[in-house]
Amino acid sequence: MAAVDLGSNSFHLQIARVVDDQIYLLDSLRDPLRLGAGLTRDRRIDQATKTRALEVLARFSERLRGFSRSAVRAVGTSALRVAKNADAFLAEAEATLGFPIEVIFGREEARLIYLGVAQSLAPSPERRLVVSGDLGRPAHPLLRPPEAPDAAELAALKEEGII
């Protein structure tokens, strides 16, 4: 399975394998291209940033060659929610990456971050507070679901291709 994050500050690719409800990270790429900084005053992705973003996605695409569509989830966040030319950019980005890209809202972004962090922690019946390393962003300064996901919820999320 693989996850692609088209974030406002950087793009990430993580490739993992699931064995017995455990996720093992196999490969990870990160490029700090700063898509959000490439927004013009009228909230359009500028040409230089767009070109660089497509280059990064082409590199990610090479690593994703051979993956089935159901094994990859690609998401865009804040910058793509506000960019007026996001639709045109996404059409080119999807063609370059070879997979659909879903623009998600802040709540879903926070939920996915929490699940990623929770998966790396030892199981606990206690409630957890996760503080994101991206505190300046409006989407997820503090992440605290009512309870940590249990094995059944994790299995359902894996089946849906979310994690």
Question: Which run of H or of E encompasses 156?
Answer: helix 151-160
CB contact set of 55 (below 8 Å; sequence gap of 6+): none
Choose the CATH number for 1-104 among 3.20.20.70, 3.30.1330.60, 3.40.50.920, 3.30.420.40. Answer: 3.30.420.40
Query: Which of 117, 162, 149, 128 is closest to 3 using CA atoms?
Result: 162
Helix (H) or strand (E) holding 47: helix 47-64
Instruction: Extract the tokens encoding 60.
Output: 């990610």
- Domain spans of the chain, in order of start: 1-104, 106-163
**Overall residue count recorded for the chain in this entry:** 163
Burial 19-45 (b: 16+ CB within 10 A, else e): eeeebeeeeeeebebbbbebbeeeebb
Distance, in Å, from the CA atom of 53 to the CA atom of 160, rounded to the nearest integer, reads 27
Q: pLDDT tens string for the chain (163 positions)?
A: 999 999 999 999 999 998 887 788 899 999 999 999 999 999 999 999 999 999 999 999 999 999 999 999 999 988 999 999 999 999 999 999 999 999 998 887 777 777 777 666 777 777 766 665 554 444 444 444 545 555 665 665 555 555 5
- Please report the pLDDT score of residue 20 as a whole number: 85
